[in-house]
Amino acid sequence: MIMNTIFGKYDIRGRYGREINKNVFYKLGLAIIASYHPSRIVIGHDNRPHSKELVRAIISAMSNHGVRVYNTGMITTPGIYYLSQRFDMGLMVTASHLPLNMNGLKIVRNGEAIGIDTGLEKIKKFFNTELRKKEERGVITNKDLKPLYYRYLSRFIPKRKIDQKILIDPGNNSGVIYKTLLKNRNYIWINTSIRYNKKRDPNPFKRGVISNLKREKKMRNCSIALAFDGDADRLMVIDEESRLLPPDFVGGIIAMNNKQWRNEKIIVDVRTSQGVIEELKNYGYHVIISRCGHTFVNEAMRKHKAVFGFETSGHYYFRSFKYFDNAFIAITKILNILSKGRDLKRESERFRYYGFIGEVNIETRNKERFLYMLKKIFPNPKKELYIDGLSLYFNDYWFNARPSNTEPVVRIRLEAKTRELGEMILREIKKMKNK
């Protein structure tokens, strides 16, 4: 059944024309009404060719049943987070970083992203609900509300002049809206077409996207390069030496350059480099480890009132943004660092404790047994952690083994002091394939 495939941990996603279509989105609109009874909502979308059609379907469901709808058009997911504070609920039609043949829906309510444990299960329950149309239709207002969001973001833009050129790639998608805020001639924007095209994958961490961005950076003589994903809630950074900076290194750089946050709590996901975690602790931060995933980190941010948080997937969370993630605010933090004459390459060196960082997916028929066998093969760790699978910590290496929710694989992230040691451990883990 469709409803069993489109409801994920953090949002709703599926292939357009198969699991996702306008009829499904009309029913989603009804399920949201039955679950939460909103009176006013705001909705926006990314730049996929089918996003507007899906927006119209949800608006139709909402309006037919008396809900007033504000359609703000193309916007970023963080933009919807911000605008939702003025409404009962915010809806964003997007499949984020997934391929262009996908689409989906993100939902925010009362300052909280709705995931499977915080409301999606309820919406799923009402997916096939039939509702009687209201005699009085809800008013539909098509109005660009982005200027409200721009005014809020403008306070974060550094006032100091930045001498070097910065390359910014929104991927012909939602992040294009931020060009309004960064107009200085030193900001070089590429892939800014608002007409739908397939020139760039929505996932900025894809190998082809990274290599193209490095080529553009060199050709345009830029110092660093920045890229958004499809709905502009994730950020990818390439440093002065054209190296991809791991997102946890970027998070560490931001934290270490905001002294006013010192002694505060920071949320990191379980895959975060131990080099980053140790440096943050030495600096005075209280580091709290969370499960991976937007709704889990958002929940941990609110629970601990953390000042900042980040994920190895490229999400950056701020208490000043109601604990939500915002890639644009992360960019302004980076620009502030550069405006003080510092560079990202040097700032990242402090985190390079390990000579080897590797990730691999291991196919397995029994994920629980796989984790059990890992403990047998790698005995006597100095620490073990059961958050998002299993993490084992030793003197010269550590790894996290995280079972996939959708595939028969366990995802391994490993750090080791030397390349030889890291490759040896990976070989041992790979021997367990299909066991």
424 DSSP β-pair partners:
none
| Token pair for 372 | 């059990």
| Token pair for 19 | 């699991």
Contact in structure between 78 and 233 (CB atoms under 8 Å) = yes
Contact in structure between 416 and 422 (CB atoms under 8 Å) = yes
- DSSP structure class, residue 229: -
CB atoms within 10 A of CB 435: 12
DSSP helix/strand/coil, 144:
coil
- Alpha-carbon distance of 253 to 255, in angstroms, equals 5
Contact in structure between 138 and 68 (CB atoms under 8 Å) = yes
- Alpha-carbon distance of 160 to 163, in angstroms, equals 10
260 DSSP β-pair partners:
none
First to last CA, the chain: 30
Angle at 210 between CA 206 and CA 211, to 5 degrees: 120
393 DSSP β-pair partners:
383, 398
| Token pair for 109 | 């309510």
- Residue 96 designated active-site: yes
Strands 187-189 and 68-74: unpaired
Please write down the HEC assignment for all residues of 77-146: HHHHHHHHHHCCEEEEECCCCCCCCEEEEEEEECCEECCHHHHHHHHHHCCCCCCCCCCCCCCEEECCCH
Which residue among the candidates 51, 63, 84, 96 is catalytic per the annotation?
A: 96
DSSP helix/strand/coil, 320:
helix
| Token pair for 350 | 């402090």
Catalytic site positions: 96
